[in-house]
Amino acid sequence: MFTPLQVYSANSLLKSPMSVKQYVADAFKKGYTTLVLSEWKTLSSSVEFIRLCQEKQLKALIGLEIPWKHYTLQLLALNTTGYFELVDLSSRLLSNQTFLLSDYPNIACILTQIVSLEHLEELREYCKERVYVAVQVQEIELYEWANKYTLPMLANKRVMYANPSDYRALKILNAIETNDTLNRMSIQDVGKDYLPKANDFKYQFEQEKLGQIIQNTQAFYDCIELNIPVQQTLLPKFSERADDLLKEIAFKGLRDKQLDTSIYVERLHKELAIIAQMKFSDYFLIVWDLMKYAHKEGIMTGAGRGSSAASLVSYCLNITKVDPIKHHLLFERFLNPERYTMPDIDLDFPDNKRQDMLHYVAQKYGYDKVAQISTFGTFAAKQSLRDVARVFGFSPKELKQISDMVPFELKITLNRALEQSTKLKQWIEKSELNQEIFQLACKIEGLPRHVSTHAAGVVISDKPLSELTPVQHLDGQIQLTQMTMQDVEYIGLLKMDFLGLKNLSILADAQTAVRQFEDQFDIWHIDWQDEQTLQVFARADTEGIFQFESTGIRRVLEQIKPQSLEEVAAVNALYRPGPMEQIGHYALRKHKREQVSYPHKDLQPILEETYGIIVYQEQVMQIAYQMAGFSLGEADLLRRAIGKMKKDVMASEKVHFITGAQKRGYSLEDATTVYQYIEKFANYGFPKSHALAYSMLAYQLAYIKAYYPQAFYLALLLHTNAKSERFTMYLMEAKRHGIEAVVPSINQSQSMHRILSNKRILFGLSAIQGIRRDMRQYILDERKRGGKFTSFDNFIDRMPDKYTKDEYLETLIYAGVFDEFGETRSKLINNISVTKTNKNLLDKTFLTPIYEEVVEIHSDVLMEKEKEILGFSVSTHELDKYAHYYDKQYIQFSHHVLENDYVYLLGYLKKIRKIQTKNGKRMAFAVLEDQFAKISLTIFPEVYTRHIAHFEEDTVIVVSGRIDLDNRGEKICVVNTMYTLHDFEQKIYQKEHICFIKVKNIAQQQLVIKELVRHKGDTPVVMYLEDTQQYHQLPEKYNINFQKQLQDGLAFIVGEDNIVYKKRKNV
């Protein structure tokens, strides 16, 4: 059967809008039984293509199109060996290495164009009788040329897309690749390089009397057999006696931990037996060796990640730091003997040490046997719309406007954006061009745009990887697989995750800082039930704490107030889509405000720690094991089936569960109730092993924050972009915890920030932007050679002229490095030229520079200069004086608020923009800027009329309102009320007081209430009724503004002695 030879998919980046999946599905519908895929230079799609063809029972042939001389050459694997020759050739091609076609005797070399006789002879010399010509219908000249030189011919058609109408999408991709623009009218509507029905082109060849070519082509394809080995176990061999060696190391680790009791010994024997049976001992030893190297080099490693923390073997090998028996973790959740899959031990390293670990692996096993895994960056909704519009000539400003019409939502699609965004819908309806842009953007959405490196994935092989899978080399880096993670695993290669975790870098640097004054401090030898540390979580004081930093999870902490590491882990597990629904119940049950109930009393031991709620996947497994008699391996299969919502498997497992439960004496009703309970919760259950391991890292950071805040904030600031809002926020948080940040000092600062004293962090010279690295180093070296600088004049004297340019000196002055000399920054700036002139005098023995006195620069200007040069301001912010309002939660930090929150925000009013609505009413937009961030304000006509006339730009105000999101996902405040500082302070004063009123009877009470409603405010009122001798706090609507007029009115009703106005307790 005819099949095209030249077929690109979207994996030939920006050369086809057709995905591999679309190609196979479309070809199947069009009647093909054999398919060829021949990408440009790459084999990244080959395994996916073979797998998809097998699913459709189609014969898959693998080709490769390459540049040769100044032609393109089509290559086709003639057998399995030929496929691996293509793998080698593609790897060389994408690594800029040379190759000889004569080295690949199992590949057919197919010409699709006329070449010179010289090159034809060269090709014949290389490829012998394996040279073919691929001829399309109407290519008469090529047909005659092939006949002239007696070259065997194959029927061909170039295929770049599935359907004729996809031609325009192809032209867009080509223009994106070349960064060209296109005239919409110049692109034809349909193209010819589409995939035809199988019989159509067979018929065309026959009509042109070329039927023999079809028959030759079919015979040629029939001779090709590819059997690409997949789902192998390609583990490197660590030791010839791996099982015994693993056992020795594991039991030594158990003894070192002083855990060699019967329960641990029995569990360890069981795990080792399963590992040996599944032939994974070498795998564990490889990981053990990696972690051993990291620990030897002093590289901080995490407690574990994912289900590997459930393994006692991992714990004994110091791969993980979680005791699985103590925490009731199940080995079968990690490695199930009843479901053969490769083990998955993911490793966390500090992000600044990940590369070290990669090079260690490459050096140990060979750089040719180790690779990082590739991933494809794809056209997301915003990107595809921008790219298509750019091709049609839209300006950068217009592109941003179009992009902003797509709502900010993770993984949003264009069709979903169209449903949500009125602006996008209106823009599309505005013109035919806009409609086409949207349609074409939808066509390319999701297609690969570029190759990237997977954030964590690494493969290790027992032989050179280019013998197993195509790779590519990046300059100076470890090689990269051409295939993505799914295909690499499908082949059977050992995939590991080396995740670079910034928070581990923070923890490592914090520990190093603590060791400056406690040299034996070890973050792994702390009290894991420390009250002060747990209070950090209970108070939700978790800025800078891994996975507990967001406003949302901090609110959960405030609800639950965890009192143990296990409860911290539960918060971590619950704060996810799905389990969030149970947070309220969990909190109420924990605080004994809701009764704890169980689907069956026998499940209490399993669900007691989570107050009757299934939080963890392990709990599902334990229920199935205890109640229905499942093995733990079977219980894991049940857990997976429910988690993946596999309905057919779930149905059979339900029968299995209920039958098993009945055999163990449970009624049909109880068994059904429990199974339904499992189904309800298990689909979002979280691995306890992962929650616990990551919560240990959070706990360690919280411990350092509780006891060594200076070390905590130093490490945090070292790993945060100084120009980010988060950096400023951390500075403010440090100040709130009594830690002062000090501007760089010319005599005390090193290159990096450091602890100056228990309560002070000194910024390093590296914080100063605009100062060259060599200049910074010269300053440090000169200070070491000649001692401390004694004055600004002395500094200039000792520095080379190239480092005393005015712009460098101004930068240093504004950064505050010379503050210690007692001169104002304005004076130093004003006298730079005087000081430099003095340097050039021959005899300066009796001369010191006379500085002209000038007024110091305004604090606002100094702050802006510090922000410009340091990325942040250490000088006192004008708004710092209102810190007590934040502490008492009268106002909120702008970066802490969430969508739909009703908030009070304080800051400078900026960028007021007044507009007129369609109804002729006035409204405004503005920006409120506090110490940390800026937030947009929307002031609708009603509020505008009440307030806007009283406010000017750059005044400090307070606004109240509700938080909304704009179409970019940015937070905005829809303002309800605006306050001057004086008005807000009066409001707070009222809130902090309470008014007690004593009345004789109901009649007098009614008179008092009438008086109260005429003086509404914020002070709550408590009334004492003499008749009943009872106190009643009145509803909030009766809160008052306690002023003299109200006081006189109440005194007239009840007498002055029966009114008490005083400050409330605990405010």
Considering the domain architecture, whether residues 685 and 548 belong to the same structural domain is answered as yes
In SS3 terms, 1044-1062 reads as HHHHHHHHHHHCHHHEEEE
Asked, for residue 512, whether it belongs to a domain, the answer is no
Looking at 987, 1014, 1038, the residue that finishes a domain is: 987
pLDDT of residue 842: 46
Report angle CA 237, 239, 242 to the nearest 5 degrees: 105
Considering the domain architecture, whether residues 425 and 473 belong to the same structural domain is answered as no
Mean pLDDT by 10 residues, the chain (1067 residues): 88 96 96 96 96 96 95 97 97 92 96 95 93 93 94 94 94 95 85 92 81 90 92 86 97 96 96 94 95 96 91 96 94 85 87 94 92 95 95 94 89 92 93 94 96 91 92 83 94 90 96 93 96 95 93 91 96 88 93 93 94 91 92 87 75 90 93 88 80 96 96 95 84 87 92 89 91 93 94 91 91 92 88 77 55 73 83 72 78 81 90 87 88 85 82 86 83 90 86 89 88 88 86 87 87 88 78
Asked, for residue 230, whether it belongs to a domain, the answer is no
Considering the domain architecture, whether residues 278 and 323 belong to the same structural domain is answered as yes
The pTM of this model reads 0.84
Looking at 837, 870, 903, the residue that finishes a domain is: 870
CATH number of the domain encompassing residue 848: 1.10.150
Q: Do 35 and 62 meet the contact criterion of CB atoms below 8 Å apart?
A: no
pLDDT of residue 954: 82
Tokens representing residue 489 in the block: 């695993």
CATH number of the domain encompassing residue 212: 3.20.20.140
CATH number of the domain encompassing residue 416: 1.10.10.1600
Tokens representing residue 580 in the block: 């969030």
Q: Do 152 and 132 meet the contact criterion of CB atoms below 8 Å apart?
A: yes
In sequence order, the β-bridge partners of residue 1024 are 998, 1031
Asked, for residue 69, whether it belongs to a domain, the answer is yes
Considering the domain architecture, whether residues 308 and 417 belong to the same structural domain is answered as no
DSSP secondary structure, 958-975, as one string: EEEEEEEE-TTS-EEEEE
Considering the domain architecture, whether residues 386 and 369 belong to the same structural domain is answered as no
CATH number of the domain encompassing residue 480: 3.30.1900.20
Considering the domain architecture, whether residues 694 and 766 belong to the same structural domain is answered as no
In whole angstroms, give the CA distance from residue 788 to residue 427.
Answer: 65
Q: What is the largest CA-CA distance in the chain?
A: 123
HSE-CB for 370 with a 13 A CA cutoff: 19
Residue 10 domain boundaries = 6-166+190-222
Domains in the chain, number = 7
Considering the domain architecture, whether residues 496 and 610 belong to the same structural domain is answered as no
Considering the domain architecture, whether residues 293 and 384 belong to the same structural domain is answered as no
Considering the domain architecture, whether residues 276 and 314 belong to the same structural domain is answered as yes
Asked, for residue 752, whether it belongs to a domain, the answer is yes
Looking at 836, 870, 904, the residue that finishes a domain is: 870
Cα–Cα nearest to 104, from 84, 124, 74, 129: 84
In whole angstroms, give the CA distance from residue 1052 to residue 1042.
Answer: 15
In whole angstroms, give the CA distance from residue 163 to residue 271.
Answer: 55
CA-CA-CA-CA dihedral for 614, 615, 616, 618, to nearest 10: -20
Digit-coded pLDDT (tens) for 931-959:
777 889 999 998 888 887 667 888 888 99
Helices (DSSP H) in 908-951: which residue ranges?
941-947
Considering the domain architecture, whether residues 267 and 247 belong to the same structural domain is answered as yes
In whole angstroms, give the CA distance from residue 524 to residue 547.
Answer: 19
In whole angstroms, give the CA distance from residue 193 to residue 177.
Answer: 19
* Helix (H), strand (E) counts: the chain: 44, 28
In whole angstroms, give the CA distance from residue 245 to residue 638.
Answer: 34
Considering the domain architecture, whether residues 199 and 286 belong to the same structural domain is answered as no
Asked, for residue 333, whether it belongs to a domain, the answer is yes
Asked, for residue 692, whether it belongs to a domain, the answer is yes
Asked, for residue 162, whether it belongs to a domain, the answer is yes
Cα–Cα nearest to 346, from 154, 497, 180: 497
Residue 669 burial (CB count, 10 A): 8
pLDDT of residue 971: 87
DSSP reduced 3-state for 616: strand
Asked, for residue 231, whether it belongs to a domain, the answer is no
Considering the domain architecture, whether residues 149 and 27 belong to the same structural domain is answered as yes
pLDDT of residue 450: 94
Tokens representing residue 659 in the block: 């039958």
CA-CA-CA-CA dihedral for 87, 90, 92, 96, to nearest 10: -160
